[in-house]
Amino acid sequence: MKILVVDDHALVREGLRQVLKGLDESVEVLQAGTCAQAFATTQSHNDLDLILLDYRLPDMTGLEALAIFGQQHPELPIVMLSGSANVQIMRQVLQAGAAGFVTKSSLSDELLGAVRRVLDGDVYLPHELETDTPPEQPDPASERPALTQRQELVLRGLLDGQSNREISQALNVSEETIKTHVTAILRHFAVHNRTQAVVAAARCGYTAS
């Protein structure tokens, strides 16, 4: 397992690295102090499983970085970290495609629980938003062309919580091909990452195998 921690404070990054060891002693934690460093790291490590991204960084906000990550690596789940518990920021971050939001004042167990949940393909909502019910939105997929048979097979893999590598092995195609299909699936559901695609697909009646 490989996780990238993006925060401009070295002590915070090191503290998060120690906490993440609670997932598995073998977890590899990469670190970046700026968004520019984070973008470079994701380009050179295409096997990342998750990013922990600070909301306030020297070169841009977490929201701006989230949009770029969504364009460059739409299949990569991101959990936003913030020193603020502002509910408006939480909503903005999650609507922008983050798979979770955790405040820096949270206990280690809460952070680990959030990371595990996101790695399992779910979305982690902070306590402040657990009872928040967003208004009904029209289903964007209903106005789009249907998924191809191969895209549906890839979507089934996503629903089963499989990684791109696992899906590529099951379908006997390259990981790059799977990434292309995942990107098409995200466009189909008008979402930013695979976690949101799974949620949208479930709402449309797709189920895990």
> Quick one: pLDDT at residue 51?
94
For residues 136 and 98, give the distance between their C-alpha atoms in angstroms, rounded to a whole number.
20
118 and 144 both lie in a single domain? no
Residue 209 within a domain: no
Q: Are 49 and 28 in contact (CB under 8 A)?
A: no
19 and 89 both lie in a single domain? yes
> Quick one: pLDDT at residue 91?
84
Stretches in the chain below the pLDDT threshold 50: 132-133, 135-138, 140-143
Residue 134 within a domain: no
Residue 28 within a domain: yes
Say which CATH number the domain at 55 has: 3.40.50.2300
Mean pLDDT rounded to a whole number for the chain: 84
16 and 91 both lie in a single domain? yes
Q: Which of 129, 164, 195 is the last residue of a domain?
A: 129
> Quick one: pLDDT at residue 188?
83
> Quick one: pLDDT at residue 131?
52
> Quick one: pLDDT at residue 92?
83
10 and 65 both lie in a single domain? yes
Q: What is the pTM of this model?
A: 0.65
> Quick one: pLDDT at residue 144?
53
> Quick one: pLDDT at residue 105?
84
* Full residue range of the structural domain in which residue 161 is found: 140-203
Residues 6+ apart with CB under 8 A from 36: 59
> Quick one: pLDDT at residue 130?
60
